[in-house]
Amino acid sequence: MTAGSRTHFVWRERLIAGVAAATLVLCWFLLFDGLTAGTPWLTAQRIGAAGARVVINGRGSPTLTTSLAVFSVFHYAGWIAISGLVLGVVHRARKQPTLLLAALLLTVMAYVPLVGVSTMFVAMGWGSGMWVRVMVAALIGGMTVAAQAYRAHPGLVRHEFAHIDDDG
């Protein structure tokens, strides 16, 4: 495999992981909102509307279509960026396997701001159900990216678990 095709493969892998994670998280929002609020687009519309107000500088109230478009752009871009970072660390860990532990710790620490975001949404009057929506969505997306990383590099994880008790 040439360097150019290898780079293409890496970016394709990251894009697939990001789109899969974003889609599963969106499905979670639709299912949760449909079952609990009776409006499947509630979370996407609220987050998108908040983002749209920033984009349009508060001029008027964004429509449902505008809110969903803004949500989709930022939602998918965010998950593609997250999967790019995670899979970038996994690719680097092939040369330096100790990075996997650091990546795991950083991933756990990345969930801390989600508590703040959830608190902000609850304080905005979006209901305490936002805790469940956001935290479960983060777990679903994170597990999707991790599954993609494992699918692409199963030997790396097996190697690290096989040597977890080594002192050297």
- Could you give the CA distance from residue 83 to residue 61 in angstroms, rounded to a whole number? 32
Look up the domain containing 38 and give its range: 3-162
Q: Tell whether 80 is covered by a domain.
A: yes
**pTM recorded for the entire structure:** 0.82
Q: Could you tell me which of 109, 111, 160, 110 has the C-alpha nearest to residue 135?
A: 111
Q: Tell whether 168 is covered by a domain.
A: no
| 33-70 per-position pLDDT tens digit | 999 989 999 999 999 998 898 887 767 789 999 999 99
Q: Tell whether 47 is covered by a domain.
A: yes
Q: Tell whether 128 is covered by a domain.
A: yes
CA distances for 47 relative to 9, 12, 29, 108, angstroms:
33, 28, 11, 24
Q: Tell whether 101 is covered by a domain.
A: yes
| 79-104 per-position pLDDT tens digit | 999 899 888 888 888 788 778 777 77
Q: Could you tell me which of 38, 43, 17, 14 has the C-alpha nearest to residue 28?
A: 43
Q: Tell whether 131 is covered by a domain.
A: yes
Q: Tell whether 167 is covered by a domain.
A: no
Query: How many structural domains does the chain have?
Result: 1
Q: Tell whether 114 is covered by a domain.
A: yes
